[in-house]
Chain A
Amino acid sequence: MSSELRGLPAAPGVATGAPWIYRPLVADGTSRRSLADAAEAASTELEGLAARLRDEGRPDEAAILDAQALMATDEALLAAARERQDRGEGPADAVILAGNEVAAAFEALDDEILSARAADVRDVAGRIARHVSGAPAPRLERRSIVVAADLAPSVTVELNRALLAGIALEGGSRTSHAAILARALGIPAVVCIPGILDRSAAVAELAIDGDAGVAFLDPDDRDRDRLAHAAALAAGQRSADDNFRARPLATADGHRVLCAANIGHPDEAAAALAAGAEGIGLFRTEFAFAGRTSAPGEDEQADGYARVLRTAGEAPVVFRLADIGGDKPLPYVRIAPEANPFLGVRAIRLADAEPELFATQLRAILRASKVAARPASVMAPMVADAADVARLRRLVDDARVAVSGAPLPRVGIMVEIPSAVLLAEQLGAMVDFMSIGTNDLTQYLLAADRTNASLADRQDPLHPAVLRAIAAVVEGAGGRCEVAVCGEMAGDPVGAILLVGLGVDELSMDPTAFGRVKRAVADRSRAELIELARAARELTSADEVRALVTDR
């Protein structure tokens, strides 16, 4: 009998094949080769795989394997493995454990990019161990769906592409190496499928839908029909969305809403604008603060900020002041341990204890604005009431005195705390714009921790309570200040339709969402969207709201 398992879509397309279960080698004590010879063999093999990727026009992925080829013969790894061997461990075990040690050290450095590289180190150590034990390289015999906990790029590349139909992973994420490489090579993939490793051991055939994120075990004719239908539909939708990418964000009768991009690093600005962003609606500045032992200086910050302003040209750029808190402690910011960091001393609440942190950042933003000769917009997260706005205003005024001659900045606040919703009229009169962070607003409004997976069904921003909160903010602003939305809701076609109907002036989202959001909004007139949003507010659950919007 057929059954299906849900995961997350990672690379589009539909595929069918025999399950081929890949598990990294567990050393069995046999050794056919010395450690040095095995390391040399692994390194040569990785160089060959890198060359193959370069020939296919994938230099970014090739670079990962090139670096791995160097790791394989790195003295630091081999010395640690030899030391373990001298203590009596088998050579394959020794190198796997030495690799784990190096990988753990990478992960301990609290640097996202480096943490991702930890998997590369483990993969290299596993490859050396395979050569030590003389085990054969993984090999597909027929058209297969590869099933694994996670899949290193080096393994994806060395499998016979003609037989590699699709990838189904128990772990991984949309941004893991395996997913990125699958998308680049056009291999359909689904990740985060609980139980897929155990369940596929007993089936003859697997099918996956990389657009919906579903795996079918022993698919029957009905499943096959559904998959064929889904494949055709997804391909059609993608090309329809693409047609809207370059158009303005507007309703069928021409009511315009500003289409802005969320970015987290200066390097992302150019791509966002090329994708059609009319502004940077949310520039998260935490990148400047993470992974270091001392606070970033004014010059260093100003460099990065000026690059974004220059790249943006005439388009507005909203700098969000660093949202630092106890959930991701920084060695140079003193925050006492807290039971609830999301309700703790974070963001603007740190302004009294760490005034220099924000003063330096604001001076850097104003200096960048002066150098680029473009006005900047600044906003503070976690604003609860008028005292917080006054705090922000004071900080901005002080920075303006310190950096004379900078263009006058626009000053705004994030609306994510319920008190700010209730006080929207008061706060709106004190600022140039308000930007609603729907992810945090939903978490605080429904008292449902975003990091707690068992509350996932209580974190839907389509909840009527969230819609009413947004309506209250728009009403409170009363046209005296602009209202934007920069949460994930803005990039969801259903959410975007409702937000335009609720009367927001700007939607800021990941640039990949531009096409689908523009297409959804262009489908109806402004009056229809206002009516739809009004009706949605009267419903009793997020599911009802989604059904109302998608059924029309």
Chain B
Amino acid sequence: MAEAEVEVRNPSGLHARPAAAFVRAAGALAVDVRVANLTRDPQKEVSAKSVLGVMGLGVARGHRIRLAADGPDGETAVSTLAELVASGLGETVEGE
């Protein structure tokens, strides 16, 4: 199983626009990626292809999320999405 942890730095977290960008990217992948919000509840996992599921994680700015996927293509899928989140999902985010 492939896994990655990444901090969300978008001003309003993974809501509306950034959540939609994330879900669209996940939907384009052949693999099913699971997401959990480590800051709120590491046990609750949802599909990265469900915008309602992802928004329901309540990911706010500064929260850390975990991405996980199985299978041979899992590694690539997880790192693609992790990079996308780290880059701000099309929004300007300030790093430190």
Task: Give A residues with C-beta under 8 Å from B.
Answer: 60, 63-64, 66-67, 70-71, 74-77, 102, 105-106, 109, 111, 113-114, 117, 120-121, 265, 267, 288, 290-294, 296, 300, 303-304, 306-307
B52 near A113: Cβ-Cβ < 8 Å: no
Binding site for A on B (CB under 8 A): 11-13, 15-17, 19-20, 23-24, 39-41, 46-47, 49-53, 55-56, 58, 60, 62-63, 94, 96
* Shortest CB distance B51–A (Å): 4
- Chain A residue contacts of B51, Cβ below 8 A: 67, 70-71, 74
In the complex the two chains form, is B50's CB within 8 Å of A63's CB?
no
Complex CA gap A293/B59 in Å reads 12
Q: Closest 6 CB pairs between A and B?
A: A63-B17, A109-B58, A70-B51, A67-B20, A76-B52, A67-B16
Which residue of A is nearest B95, CB measured? A303
C-alpha spacing A221/B31, complex, angstroms:
67
Q: How many A-B residue pairs have CB under 8 A?
A: 77
A114 touches B20 (CB 8 A): no
- When the two chains form their complex, are residues B13 and A67 in contact, meaning their CB atoms are under 8 A apart? no
A76, B13: Cα distance in complex, Å: 21
- With A75-B47, A293-B41, A303-B96 given, is the CB distance from A70 to B16 under 8 Å? no
A293 interface neighbour in B13, B39, B47, B52, Cβ under 8 Å: B39
Most chain A Cβ neighbours within 10 Å, of B17, B39, B55, B56:
B55
Cross-chain contact B62 with A296 (CB below 8 angstroms): yes
Give the residues in chain A near B49, CB-CB below 8 Å: 75
- Chain B residues, CB < 8 A from A303: 62, 96
Determine whether the beta carbon of B20 is less than 8 Å from that of A66.
Answer: yes
CA–CA, A498 and B22, complex, Å: 51
- Are B60's CB and A77's CB within 8 A? no
Q: A63-B17, A63-B20, A113-B13 are in contact. Are A292 and B60 (CB under 8 A)?
A: yes
A76 touches B16 (CB 8 A): no
A76 to B53, CA, bound (A): 7
Asked if residues B15 and A114 are in contact (CB atoms below 8 Å), the reply is: yes
The one of B23, B56, B60 in contact with A106, judged by C-beta atoms closer than 8 angstroms, is B56
Whether A67 contacts B94 by the Cβ 8 Å rule is: no
Task: Decide: A75 and B16 in contact? CB cutoff 8 A.
Answer: no
A293 and B24 CA atoms in complex are apart in Å by 28
- Decide if A64 touches B16 in the complex (CB within 8 Å): yes
> With A109-B58, A267-B11 in contact, is A74–B50 under 8 Å at CB?
yes
**Contact assessment for A121 and B52 in the assembled complex, using a CB-CB cutoff below 8 Å:** yes
Given A75-B49, A109-B58, A113-B60: 13 more A-B contacts, CB < 8 Å:
A67-B55, A70-B20, A70-B23, A70-B24, A74-B51, A74-B53, A77-B52, A109-B56, A113-B15, A114-B55, A294-B39, A296-B62, A300-B62
Chain B residues with Cβ below 8 Å from A77 are 52
With a 10 A CB-CB cut-off, give which of B13, B51, B52 has the most chain A CB atoms: B52
Give complex CA distance A67, B58 in Å: 15
Of residues B12, B46, B51, B94, which shows the largest number of chain A Cβ atoms within 10 Å of its Cβ?
A: B51
Q: CA of A300 to CA of B51 in the docked complex: distance in angstroms?
A: 27
Q: Which of B17, B53, B58 contacts A114 (CB 8 A)?
A: B58
Name which residue of chain A comes closest to B41, CB basis. A293
Closest residue of B by beta carbon distance from A293: B40
Given contacts A63-B20, A67-B16, is CB(A111)–CB(B58) below 8 Å? yes
Q: How far in angstroms is the closest Cβ of chain B from A311?
A: 10
Q: Is the CB of B41 within 8 A of A111?
A: no
User: In the docked arrangement, what's the CA distance between A304 and B94, Å?
Assistant: 10
Output the least CB separation between A118 and chain B (Å): 10
Q: Is B39 in contact with A292, judged by CB distance below 8 angstroms?
A: yes
Q: Which residue of B lies closest to A74 (CB)?
A: B52
When distances are taken between beta carbons in the complex, the residues of chain B under 8 Å from A114 are 15, 55-56, 58
With A71-B52, A121-B52, A267-B11 known as contacts, the answer to whether A111 contacts B17 (CB < 8 A) is no
Question: Closest CB-CB distance, B49 to chain A, in whole Å?
Answer: 8
Of the candidates A63, A102, A296, A304, the one whose C-beta lies within 8 Å of that of B16 is A63
Complex Cα gap A292–B40 (Å): 6
Q: How many angstroms from the CA of A303 to the CA of B11 in the assembled complex?
A: 13
B50 neighbours in A (Cβ, 8 Å): 74-76
Q: Contacts of A76 on B, CB cut-off 8 Å?
A: 46-47, 50, 52-53
Q: Are B56 and A102 in contact (CB under 8 A)?
A: yes
Q: Which residues of A contact B96 (CB under 8 A)?
A: 303, 306
State the CA gap A300–B39 with chains docked (Å): 12
With a cutoff of 8 Å between Cβ atoms, the chain B residues found around residue A292 in the complex are 39-40, 60, 63
**In whole angstroms, what is the CA distance A304 to B15 when docked?**
19
Our pick among A64, A66, A105, A265 for the contact of B56 (Cβ within 8 Å) is: A105
